[in-house]
Amino acid sequence: MWLKSQIDIFKNYFMLYFIMPANLPPEYYAAEKQFREAISPQEKIYALEELIATIPKHKGTDKLRADMRRKLSQLREEAIKKKKSGKGDIYTVEKQGAAQIALVGFANSGKSSLLKSLTNANPVIADYPVSTIMPLAGMMPFEDIQFQLVDLPPIGNESTDGWVSGILRVADMLLLIIDISEDPDIQVELLIEQLENWKIKLIKKNEPSSDSSQDKPIILVANKIDLLETIEDSEKLLKSFDYLFPVVKISTIKKDGLEELRRTIFENSRIIRVYSKEPGKEPDKTTPFILPSGSTVLELAEMIHKDFLSNFKYVCIWGSAKFGGQRVQKDYILHDKDIVEYHLK
């Protein structure tokens, strides 16, 4: 199974070389080399995500991109099966929900308390420096979807930084948890410096979105606003970084700011929810499709079923369309909470 998946991937490489060699950017060759040199399942998944991100988007590469996304899903499934059988990497966290969000911070910043406040997880919460020694995930509900939050050991621990950085590279978003009672500006600067050393690029406000899985949206979470002495420090943190990144002030003790944090996570997650509708029936709003922002009608069709690509005649949209039920083209860009009705041949 593993060998067959690798052969299929290199068949796709062959197609790309001979169909559109002039359109391959330099980044493609670097990503290809990284994939060839990857050893662990997690490294291969990360490298293939980077390779997909370098392929130009146009009609000539639609099928290739879809094929590579399927191969990526296969690699993820194989990694999960190995882990469940006891043969896989114990530090690999299976992605669940709308997006995977890693909690990043120094010791006693409140990462575990935040995980417990927002999810169904029950982490160890203690005053000693390293109470989290393994990745622990929980699901955070937001309206009709859920986000997966992953608590990790504190940054700066040599025995865990290696695999922690691996999880951060594949996560969809990072929450930088800051203890604002302890030099918050310095904490932020040190965390950002470490992430940059790990080649993780942080997306700043108003910065164009990128397909690279190395580029991460982040939210600065200023924890412990329940302490009176932190009021001045929290305002200072806002002035220093609010123009660069979203900043949310919270207290895990008093549960202040948690709903604002949920909303901010969704607004910066770069995903949309889309609902399906059969002709003549009400839309199904129980289980939305989760897509990257900027996805098209064609990309949703690929997600629903591969036969949709060649079998649908036209598509009707409710929500972002000029009027309910408007017919749109295959390259129509979908928006959050759109309702899509496919008409097949």
Question: For the residues of 195-237, what is the DSSP string, one character each?
Answer: HHHTT-EEEPTTPPP-S-TTEEEEEEEEE-TTSGGGHHHHHHH
- Fill in the amino acid letter for 73: S
Q: Count Cα atoms within 13 angstroms, Cβ side, for 150.
A: 26
In a domain, 27, yes or no: yes
Task: Tell me, yes or no, whether 238 and 113 share the same domain.
Answer: yes
100-105/173-179 β-pairing: parallel
- For residue 27, give its domain range: 2-84
For the chain, 345 residues long, give each residue's pLDDT as a single digit of tens: 444 454 454 444 444 444 444 466 777 777 777 777 776 666 677 677 777 778 777 777 777 778 877 887 777 777 666 655 555 555 678 888 999 999 999 988 999 999 999 998 877 665 545 555 678 889 999 999 999 999 998 887 776 777 888 889 889 999 999 998 888 899 999 999 999 988 888 988 877 766 666 789 999 999 988 887 777 777 778 788 888 999 999 999 999 999 999 999 999 999 999 998 888 888 888 889 999 999 999 888 888 877 766 777 888 999 988 888 889 988 899 999 999 998 877
In a domain, 94, yes or no: no
Last residue in a domain, options 246, 267, 288 = 267
Cβ 178 vs Cβ 188: under 8 Å: yes
Task: Tell me, yes or no, whether 35 and 72 share the same domain.
Answer: yes
Q: Report pLDDT digits (tens) over 14-63.
A: 444 444 444 667 777 777 777 777 766 666 776 777 777 787 777 777 77
Q: 118-126: long-range contacts at Cβ-Cβ below 8 A with a sequence spacing of 24 or more?
A: 118/149, 118/258, 118/261, 118/262, 119/149, 121/149, 121/151, 123/151
Residue with tokens 């060839």: 36
> Could you tell me what percent of the chain has a pLDDT over 70?
81
CATH, residue 283: 3.10.20.30
Cβ 132 vs Cβ 112: under 8 Å: yes
DSSP structure class, residue 243: T
With CA atoms as reference, report the closest residue to 104 among 159, 161, 145.
161
With CA atoms as reference, report the closest residue to 97 among 52, 152, 137.
137
Length of the chain: 345
Q: How many domains does one find in the chain?
A: 3
Task: Tell me, yes or no, whether 256 and 282 share the same domain.
Answer: no
In a domain, 89, yes or no: no
Task: Tell me, yes or no, whether 128 and 211 share the same domain.
Answer: yes
Task: Tell me, yes or no, whether 131 and 241 share the same domain.
Answer: yes
Task: Tell me, yes or no, whether 68 and 106 share the same domain.
Answer: no
CATH, residue 170: 3.40.50.300
Task: Tell me, yes or no, whether 6 and 148 share the same domain.
Answer: no
In a domain, 95, yes or no: no
Task: Tell me, yes or no, whether 104 and 232 share the same domain.
Answer: yes
Last residue in a domain, options 84, 111, 139 = 84
Task: Tell me, yes or no, whether 239 and 106 share the same domain.
Answer: yes
In a domain, 165, yes or no: yes
Question: Between the CA of residue 47 and those of 128, 143, 214, 217, 311, what are the distances in Å?
Answer: 36, 33, 10, 19, 33
Task: Tell me, yes or no, whether 196 and 155 share the same domain.
Answer: yes
In a domain, 91, yes or no: no
Q: Report pLDDT digits (tens) over 244-291.
A: 999 999 999 999 999 999 999 999 999 999 998 888 888 888 889 999
In a domain, 299, yes or no: yes
Three-class secondary structure of residue 4 per DSSP? helix
Last residue in a domain, options 236, 267, 298 = 267
Q: What is the pTM of this model?
A: 0.73
Residue with tokens 């993780």: 200
Task: Tell me, yes or no, whether 334 and 206 share the same domain.
Answer: no
CA dist 202 and 195 (Å) reads: 8
In a domain, 92, yes or no: no
Q: Which helix (H) or strand (E) holds 176?
A: strand 173-179
Task: Tell me, yes or no, whether 117 and 176 share the same domain.
Answer: yes
